[in-house]
Structure formats: structure tokens, C-alpha cells
A and B are shown apart, each in its own frame.
Chain A
Amino acid sequence: MEDSFDKTILELESRIEELKKLNMKPEVQFDSEISELEKKLKRTMKKTFSKLTPWQVVQVARHKNRPVLRDYIAMIFDEFIELHGDRCFGDDHGMIGGFAMIGKKRVILIGHQKGKTVEDQVKNNFGMASPDGYRKALRLMKLAEKYKLPVLSFIDTPGAYPGADAEARGQAEAIAKNLTEMAVLKTPIIVIVTGEGGSGGALGIGVGDAVLMLSNSIYSVISPEGCASILWRDGAKAPEAAAALKLTAPSLLELGVIDEIIQEPVGGAHRDYAATADAVKEALVRHTRRLQRYKIRKLVEKRYDKYARMGKL
């Protein structure tokens, strides 16, 4: 792989850390040097992150330290009662959900769970949900409808799981059913793309009244690598494909696919969990409040109109 675009930033960060460690000893003092470096770091970070290429955004969206759903649950929600199983076959760990409390609001939370440790990732299939996951999500959404709770849906997946068993149990049907049911679900749905919005696997829980996106997340019909290998016949052309696919938040906002961009702290969500979580929480609460004011019929009508306009010239 080529040099990472944030090489200078990483070097500065490790140098500052070193000096801070040395600073603990009484005989040496690096205060002024540290503050100089920190200023430089801030400048560099701001500059680098203000003009990321789409391919660089892809790297940030997939960063190994980027917060995953379990992190958001811990930071944003005051209570989470996880509910398990699709009542058909199994319990998918790549898609989780349950009752949750955000501030004083009770909601149904669903979302992809990527995992961070290797063990976790294997258990969760790297956030690639199976039909059982989509069916569990639908089951919980129907529960939300019954209890008149808003649905908060967190998207972070490379795509739906492409396995033989997933096909046998109807990956296509599971996603199709969700799209059809979500279009007319009689409760507000707030969707947030926090990392990777990978194609049908993302959309399978992605139809909503408000669709939000973290500023360094991506949402695409196909991975840049997949697109490059088909249309460029060369997987290494992924950076070109990433640009052509218009998969970054500002492009999606312009295309009318998303409703709002949630700004990440400078340097990306993985550099400041707390600030990211605050921004996400604020946006979720605000949109939930806004959407709960609508009469349900009106809300569903508006949702339909929004999707009916997608791609219309």
C-alpha cells in the first residue's frame, strides 16, 4: 500500500507523545516544544482533512479504530436492552438491536456491528449481515411500530454477507422485504451512516425519514475496488472509481440521498470518540423530536415522496 495520507500527522502525534512521556521526569522540560508541535499538528490536521480525496475518505471510513456501534451504544445511550434472534433461524451478530434510551427518549435501535478485535470481527462477520440479521432488524422495526417508538438505524457494513448459506436462506428476499416494509413503516425512522454504507447490505436497514451521515463516512452501490475491477478491469484503480462513484457525504447530500452531514472532529472520528458521540447524539435527538411531531400518515407520505424522487431529473 502507498504511504498513508496522514503520515505527517501520525509522525507528529507520536513525537508529541514521546515528549510528553519525557516531560514526566523532573530534570527535563519540553513544554514549549510540545506546544509548538501541537500547534503544528493542529494546522497540518486541519489542512489535510479539509481536502481529502474520496479514496482517502474511504480509508478514514474503514479505519480500524473508527468507533463501531457498541462504542456509540456505550457513549450515547443511557440504557440498551439487547433483543436477540429473527424468530426464524438464528441470531446474527453482525446486526444487533434492541430497546434503547437516548436522553429521555425511548427508541428501538438497530444497526450493523463491525467489531474491533479479530475475535469480534469473525463473530460479527465484519459487520456483513446475513438474512437472519435483516429479519431480526425487521422484527424489531415492527415492534417499534407496535410500541410507537422511533427507529434509530446505524449503518456500518462493507455489504451483505455473500455466503452460500446466506443465499440459501434468502439474502435477496430478506433485503427486499425490509425495503418494502420500511417504505410504509408507521413510525419515524432515523438512519445514520457512521462508517461504510456498503450497497444493498446498507440499504437493507437504510430507508428512513432522515438519513444522516458522518462527514468521513461513505455510501456506495459497490466498493471502489469492486467497481474498479469491473469497469477499469484493474482493482488498483480504486481511487479513480471512488471519485467517479461520488460516494462521499457532500456528494450524497447534493444528490438528495442524505439529509444532513454530521461534522466529525478534525482528524476523523477515530481521533476523538467523545466529540463524535456528542455530535451524533445531538443530531439523533434533534431529528427524532422533529419527526415525532408529524402525524404518522403524513410522515409515511413524505417518506414515499422522498424515495419516489430519487434519481428523478
Chain B
Amino acid sequence: MGWFSKRKRTAPTPVKKDDIWVKCHACTAHVYREEWLSNLKVCPKCNFHDRISFQERLGLIIDDGSFHEFDKDLKAPDPLKFVDAKGRYADKTRQTTEKTGLNESVITGRGKIHGMRVVLAIMDFRFLGGSLGSGTGEKILSAARFALKHKMPYIVISASGGARMHEGILSLMQMAKTCAGIAQLHEAGLPYISVLTHPTTGGVSASFAMVGDVNIAEPKAMIGFAGRRVIEQTIKEELPDDFQTAEYLLEHGFIDHIVQRTEMKDCLYRILQYWSSK
């Protein structure tokens, strides 16, 4: 220990530029990290809503102390015993868990929004890009079942790069599995609200994220099915800047609202009042 601190004093690490500044993904402006953080990772220049952790999201949506997590210990399985150029998928998930404290790319549970009981799923991009694995699908479905059983509204907040290749076809099947859960809520007349945050693409956009009674997005979130580069290669032309943004989807009729992070809780509450007021 002493050796380390001594060494640190003799060779102090210079403060990196990255520690003070954050470059916005959307407008590429450099903004003060402090300012960006206190603004809940929203760019003060262009209003781009960057990714946040599930803990941060939970604090913004759910009443303090009201959250009870489901399937906390459910870990990502490795059904294919997948190995790629970088090694074993099982090692990758274990390391990700060590680094982030997350067992899967989604956290589910029940909680309250201004006193109203809801079931909630929050995806966290830090776990393998929020990819849709068997564990993700299992948790999203089992939360939907809880909502069904207890006649509660269900809210899913997505952030995902899409399917998880390491789980092969079973990752694809999670699209059908989660949609089956949503279909049951539809049939039972229970509300399902989808919140799409940056980014929501591929298999997640093509399943539960797109079939909400109401689809809400955060400003400038990237939302789409195929990757931008793949599309450009297919049509052999460059795409406009706003392609696959929340604003583009609003204009094309696929989402209902674009809502600021800070106003999301009130927005969800007001919408759900139309169901619970019956």
C-alpha cells in the first residue's frame, strides 16, 4: 500500500482532458463533465439524452424506497457454450458482472410512481450493450406475468443494441417470448407503456419496445431496426443526420411523445391515470 502511495506522489498522473470534458455523441460539443452530470447526462447544448444507469433511472421514476426487485440473482446463461475470437462468453458475462454489479441487461421489479403501484423493467446498457439474452427475456416476461397476476400496469424502459449473438437463436427467441408476455397484458386490458431511450435498436426495437399502448422516447435517442451502416451499404447513399432519431420516429408515426428525462415520471403518472381512473 505504502509503495503505491509513494509511487503516486513521485509520479502524479496528470488530469486527463476526459476527466473535465465530455464529448456529446449527438452534437460533438465538449461540455463540462460537472455540468453534464448535474444535468443528468443531458447535453446542455443540444438536449441529447445520453445513457444512464438503472440506479439513476430508478431514482428519476420510482418513489424513494418503494422499489422491490425481482429475479435479482438471475444470471445470464450460456446455452450454446459460446466461444469467439476473444474467448468464452461465460467469462465475458462474469467479468461484466464484476465490473458493473449487474447480472443481466435488465433490472425488473415493482414500485410506486407518485403512490401508484407499477411493475417496471429498466434496461442497462452497461451489461453487454443492453443486449437481449435469455436472462433478459426471462426477466421481462416474468415481470409481465407479475403485472398480469396483480393487475398492475407495466412499464419497460429500453436501452439496447439488440440481440445477443453469443446466445444465438435463443436470443432471437426472446423477441417472441417477451412479445407473448406483452400480448397477454393487451388481452387482459392492462396498460403497457414502452419508454425508448438511447439507443433502442435491432431485436429490442423489433419486439417489446415498439408495441406499447403508448410509446415514449427521450430526446435524440437513436431508435431503429437495421444498423445505419448496413442501410447505407444497401441503398448506396448517405442517410440524413436525423435518421433513426426519436424525432424522426415521431414524425413517421411510431412514437407518441418525446419527453425530457426529468419529466418522465410525471408523464407516466398522468397517462396511467387514464387507465386507473376507471
Q: B-contacting residues of A (Cβ < 8 Å)?
A: 160-164, 166-173, 175-177, 179-184, 199-200, 203-204, 206-207, 219-222, 227, 230-234, 237, 241, 244-247, 252, 255, 257, 303-304, 307-308, 310-313
Q: When A164-B243, A176-B206, A176-B209 are in contact, do A310 and B176 touch as well, CB less than 8 Å?
A: yes
Question: Once the chains are docked, how many angstroms separate the CA of A36 from the CA of B206?
Answer: 55
* B173 at interface, CB cutoff 8 A: yes
CA distance A234 to B84 in the complex (A): 11
Q: Closest approach, in angstroms, between the C-beta of B77 and any C-beta of chain A?
A: 5
Q: How far is the CA of A180 from the CA of B131 in the complex (A)?
A: 20
14 interchain pairs (CB within 8 A)?
Answer: A162-B234, A166-B225, A168-B252, A170-B252, A172-B205, A175-B206, A175-B225, A184-B180, A200-B163, A200-B202, A231-B86, A232-B85, A241-B84, A311-B174
CB atoms of B231 and A220 under 8 A apart: no
Consensus secondary structure, chain B interface:
helix
B→A interface (CB under 8 Å): 77, 79-80, 82-86, 133-134, 137-138, 141, 163-177, 179-184, 186-187, 202-203, 205-211, 223-227, 230-231, 234-235, 237, 239, 243-244, 252-254
| B225 touches which of A172, A237, A307 (Cβ 8 Å) | A172
Most chain B CB within 10 A, of A162, A169, A171, is at: A162
Count of A-B contacts judged by CB separation below 8 Å = 189
Is B163 a contact partner of A199 (Cβ separation < 8 A)? yes
- Rounded to whole angstroms, the CA-CA distance of A281 and B66 in the bound complex is 56
Q: How far is the CB of A211 from chain B (nearest CB, A)?
A: 10
Cβ-defined contact, A307 with B169, below 8 A: no
**Contact in complex: B85, A311 (CB < 8 Å):** no
Query: In the complex the two chains form, what is the Cα distance from A89 to B180 in whole Å?
Result: 27
Are B169 and A257 in touch, CB under 8 angstroms?
yes
Q: Which residues of B contact A183 (CB under 8 A)?
A: 176, 179-180, 183-184
Give chain A nearest CB distance to B105 CB in angstroms. 14
B172 touches A171 (CB 8 A): no
**Given contacts A230-B165, A307-B173, A311-B79, A163 and B231 within 8 Å (CB-CB):** yes
Q: Which residues of B contact A180 (CB under 8 A)?
A: 179-180, 182-183, 186, 211
**Assembled-state Cα–Cα distance A231/B167 (Å):** 13
Residue contact A244 to B82, C-beta cutoff 8 Å: yes
Quick one: given A231-B85, A231-B86, A257-B169, are A310 and B207 in contact (CB under 8 Å)?
no
A158 to chain B, nearest CB (A): 11
B84–A244 touching, CB < 8 Å: yes
